[in-house]
Amino acid sequence: MVKKQKDATTQQRILEAARKVFIEKGMAGARMQDIADEAGINKALLHYYFTSKDMLFEQIFQQASARFIPHINEVIESDVSLLEKIEHICVNYVTLIMSKPFMPLFILNEVHKQPEAFLQRMWGGQKPKLHKLAEQIEHEVKRGTIKPIHPMHLFMNIMSLSIFPFLAKPMLQYMSKMSDKAYWQLMEERKELVSKFIIDSIRK
């Protein structure tokens, strides 16, 4: 029993260290030695728990997405208005990526390599229930409360406005000479700004 608890504690310490290293250096720049050093263990022990960087990264990623998808589905199935749902989804999307900024690039890389298999692992059988949100969008268009818009355009607007700044972080910082501190402050502001921009664009 004591060994199992020790193993669980060590594994959790490794995961926390890996999250920090992936955020600081990205997937490509992170090394197993960096993660071992951050966790305060030797590389051999790290390999005992996780045989590769990819395996470690995928576990961190799955933990993050496993919490995100159920929450989004709860928002979609709730009784609140469409505009409130858009606000909740945007804020949660940006918040998640701020805590796991390596996720967007990892998703894009993996989804192009093995789309079906990767997305099944990512969602764990819990796909976002976008059809329910689409029905609400179409209903509000018919009621005349929002401008006509194809549900997929709205989905793409939410995703692109939320994700692109993180994918383009090096380019944006290079062009603007913005510090990391200033950049993350800007991303904090986007939590509210993205939803407001989208809502203002469709509200009648």
- Structural domains of the chain sorted by starting position, each given as residue range(s) with its CATH number in brackets: 1-51 (1.10.10.60), 61-202 (1.10.357.10)
CA 119 vs. chain centroid, Å, equals 13
The model's pLDDT over 33-53, given as tens digits with 9 standing for 90+, comes to 999 999 999 999 999 999 998
- Amino acid, single-letter form, for residue 72: I
Sign of the torsion formed by the C-alpha atoms of 104, 120, 47 and 52: negative
The confidence score (pLDDT) of residue 6 equals 59
* pLDDT tens per residue, range 62-120: 777 766 777 888 889 999 999 999 999 999 889 988 887 877 877 787 778 777 777 77
Q: Indicate whether this model's pTM tops 0.75.
A: no
d(CA 162, CA 193): 10
**Contact in structure between 199 and 90 (CB atoms under 8 Å):** no
Ranges 57-71, 75-89, 126-140, 160-174: which has the least confidence? 57-71
Inform me whether the pLDDT recorded for 2 exceeds 50: no
pLDDT at 170 over 80: yes
Q: Could you read off the pLDDT of 176-187 as tens digits, one per residue?
A: 999 999 999 999
Give me the pLDDT at residue 19, please. Answer: 84
Q: Tell me, what DSSP letter sits at residue 148?
A: -
